[in-house]
Amino acid sequence: MLLDRYNERLDQLIHKVRTTQRENIIKAGEMIAETVANGGNIYLSKICHSIENDLIYRGGGPIFYKHFSYGMQVERNGRVRDRSDLDSNIWGMAEYALKMSDMRPGDVLMVSSVSGRTVSTVDLAYEAKKYGIKVIAFLSMEYAQAVEAVHPSGKKLYEMVDLVMDNCAPAAEAMMEVPGIEAHYAAASGIASDILLWSMTTVAIEKLMGQGITPGILKSANFPGGNDYNKTIIEPHYDEFGW
C-alpha cells in the first residue's frame, strides 16, 4: 500500500532529522535558553507554512514564543497592465518592519525557507542580522544547494544566519515517487520542522530549569481551569519576567 510506503519514508525522514541535527538542536535550545534568561525575546516568523502555530500559545507550549510577521496593504483596483519594465522588488520592507517591531539586539528570530532563497525570508534574515538579532533558519540544505541565490547580497539563507536547522527535505520538497503521478508526493519539511521546533524547545526548557528558571507552560484553554490559569498566572508572569 502507498500508506505503508509513506510510513517507511516518514520513519527514514525522522531518523535522519534526529541523528544529523542533534548537535544543532542542542545549540538552538541553548541559544533560546540563554536569550530568555537574559531578558530577551524569542520570535517565530512563518516556519514552513505556519508550523510555528503548533508551539505558539497552545496547551503544552511555552509562553515565551511570539509571532513575528509583517505586511503592507496596497489598494490595487486599476485595470491590469504590464509592469515588467518597472522595479518592483521588496527590498527595504524587512528593515522597516524590524524598526517598527519591539525587537532588540540579542533577541532570537526564527525564519524558514525550504529552498533557502525565498526573497522575503532571506531579506528578513539579512536585515535582522544587521540589527544585531540572532537568527535561526529552517531549510533544506539539499534544496538550498541546488538553487541559485536571488538576494542582492548574492547569499542564500544558510550563508547569513547564526544557526541552520536542516529539515532534511529533498530538493523540491516531496519525498516519494508514485506511479502515474508526474510530481513527487508528500512534503517533508513541515513534519521535520515541527520535530525540530519541539526538540530544541525541550532542550531550552531543561536548560532554563537547570538555572532555576521555570518557564511558563500554557494549559489548554478548553480544559477546565486552563484559560484562567493562563490569564491570571502565566501571562502576568511573562509580562514581568519574559518567561
Whether the CB-CB separation of 167 and 113 falls below 8 Å is answered with: no
Residue 168: C-alpha distances to residues 57, 86, 190, 197, 217 (Å): 27, 38, 11, 14, 29
pLDDT exceeds cutoff 80 at 158:
yes
C-alpha cell, 69 = 510577521
pLDDT at 77: 85
pLDDT per position as a tens digit, 76-105? 888 898 888 887 777 778 999 999 999 999
pLDDT per position as a tens digit, 40-76? 999 999 999 899 999 999 999 999 999 999 988 888 8
What are the helix (H) ranges across 64-139? 93-100, 119-130
Pick left, alpha or beta for residue 121 (phi over 0 → left; psi -120 to 50 → alpha; otherwise beta): alpha
Whether the CB-CB separation of 160 and 134 falls below 8 Å is answered with: no
pLDDT per position as a tens digit, 199-210? 999 999 999 999
- 48/113 Cα distance (integer angstroms): 7
pLDDT per position as a tens digit, 102-150? 999 999 999 999 999 999 999 999 999 999 999 999 999 999 999 999 8
pLDDT at 42: 98
pLDDT exceeds cutoff 90 at 11:
yes
pTM over 0.75: yes
